[in-house]
Amino acid sequence: QSNPNLQSRGALVVLEGLDRSGKSSQCSEIVSYLQSIGLATELWRFPDRDTAVGKMISAYLSNESNLDDHTIHLLFSANRWEKRDKRSLMEEKLKAGTTLIVDRYSYSGVAFSSAKGLDFNWCKVPETGLLAPDIVLYLDITPEKAAERGGYGGERYERLDFQRKVREKYQDLQDASWKIVDACLPMEEVQKKLREHVLELIKACQNGKPFSHLWL
């Protein structure tokens, strides 16, 4: 806090969880809330389906195309690296004081691909060197509960047996930056817990918190 080399910056917040755990709903809630109290905030999401790579990912997820497991893994990773293109846009935004709320990140990349049977450590390698989130808010739900929510079954990974494996892999990825939040609570209660974590973190980042990179 007293170190003059530490510049005030925005926070890098990642939401993770199984399909239908409530990530997208909660991300937009947090963004609106933070903006409403005057904090510069942006919503990011991965996959970003709008880029050239993102369009390939989107076709794969909706079963319009088939790709080898390694290939799609690297595309998901490339989709994160392309947002880094020469300079780190993410880092620039954060340094300018903007907080980023990110719907899925490298943890999804590793959890989903390793759940298919790819080597866990191999899956982590292409993510190495990306900016590490200041916090990972994991929306915890059983695959059975998640499946009871609307619209399940449309995309490639939305199967119970598969989501069970993904949940195990997520458990293997947990580190000190993770906060586990019960995603089965009513939405407002989930939001309250997320806000508390995020506000505390933003304060720390305003006082200057060093950046770190995956996978530390």
Note the residues at the interface with ligand T5A (CB under 6 A): 17, 19-25, 46-47, 61, 76, 103-104, 108-109, 112, 149-150, 157, 183, 185-187, 190
Rounded distance between C-alpha atoms, residue 151 and residue 25, angstroms: 14
Q: How far is the CB of 22 from Na ion (least distance, A)?
A: 9
Q: For residues 38 and 161, which CB has a smaller minimum distance to ligand T5A in the complex?
A: 161
**Residue with Cβ nearer ligand T5A (174 or 206):** 174
- How many Å apart are CA 198 and CA 49, to the nearest integer? 26
Work out whether the CA dihedral 92, 14, 70, 51 comes out positive or negative. negative
Per the CB < 8 A criterion, the answer to whether 158 and 152 are in contact is yes
> Which CB sits closer to Na ion, 26 or 99?
26
Q: Which does 213 bind (CB under 5 to 8 A by kind): ligand T5A, Na ion, none?
A: none
> Please, what is the minimum distance in Å from the beta carbon of residue 20 to ligand T5A?
4
- DSSP at 132: P
> Is the four-CA dihedral 201, 107, 154, 162 of positive or negative sign?
negative
| Smallest distance from ligand T5A to CB 7, Å | 29
Name which of Na ion, ligand T5A, none residue 38 binds, using a CB cut-off of 5 to 8 Å depending on partner kind. none
The residue (of 41 and 108) whose beta carbon lies closer to ligand T5A is 108
CB of 57 to ligand T5A, least distance (A): 7
Please state, in angstroms and as integers, the Cα–Cα distance from residue 2 to each residue in 7, 205, 208, following that order: 11, 13, 9
Q: Which stretch binds Na ion (CB under 5 A): 16-24, 93-101, 140-148, 178-186?
A: 16-24
Burial of 186 (0-12, 13-18, 19+ CB in 10 A): exposed
Choose the binding region for Na ion from 17-25, 75-83, 124-132, 176-184 (rule: CB under 5 A).
17-25
- Give the residue closest to Na ion by C-beta: 24
- In the chain, how many H helices and how many E strands? 9, 5
Nearer to Na ion, 46 or 209 (CB): 46
**Could you identify the residue written with the tokens 């304060």?**
203
Minimum distance from residue 122 beta carbon to ligand T5A (Å): 14
Torsion, Cα 104 110 114 120, to 10 degrees, reads -160
Q: Which residues bind Na ion (CB under 5 A)?
A: 24
